Amino acid sequence: MTDKPSQTVVRTWVRLMKAQQCALASIERALKAAALPPLDWYDVLLEVERAGENGLRPFELERAMLLAQYNLSRLIDRIERAGYVARQACEDDGRGQLIAITPQGKAIRRKMWPVYSQAIEAAVGRHLSAKEAEALDGLLGKLIEKNAPG
């Protein structure tokens, strides 16, 4: 058994990383041009809003976002300073806290979505047929499923 990937697998890996970087950079440029917060703010706001009024514990958000705890703490601090999330005491754990979205956070997330969705279409949708997008979705889903932690 060999642990060495084939040239095709290496090229696929490089292209996957490059495609992700190009798409993310394009989306970040679109958000910045619209004077909106960065993409990682949108992702935090979406996860916290999905959690409902009670919000999320930081470790739950960390799991959903796949970010290191240190990076997530700093990100939450910045979003909180902007007034888009609020920290609340956790009733179940006196030392714990919950992160909840504020009305301003809901409003900015809703304002970001049209720009974000158009940028997704520009970065990916315009370049793939429906059949190609479906095939890529299936392949990426398979990679995620096979490599997911836990």
Domains observed in the chain:
7-123 (1.10.10.10)
Tell me the CA distances in angstroms from 1 to 5, 20, 82, 116, one per residue in order: 11, 30, 53, 44
Assign 120 a pLDDT band (cuts: 50, 70, 90). very high
Burial of 41 per CB tally in 10 Å (0-12, 13-18, 19+)? buried
What distances in angstroms separate CA 128 from CA 38, 45, 119, 138, one per listed residue? 25, 29, 14, 14
pLDDT at position 68: 65
> Over the stretch 29-88, which tens digit does the pLDDT of each residue have?
999 999 999 999 999 999 999 999 888 988 888 888 766 677 888 999 999 999 999 998
**Residues paired with 85 in a beta bridge:** 101
Greater pLDDT, 131 or 88: 131
- Hey, how many other C-beta atoms are within 10 angstroms of the C-beta on 61? 23
DSSP three-state, residue 5 = coil
User: Average pLDDT for residues 88-116, to the nearest whole number?
Assistant: 90
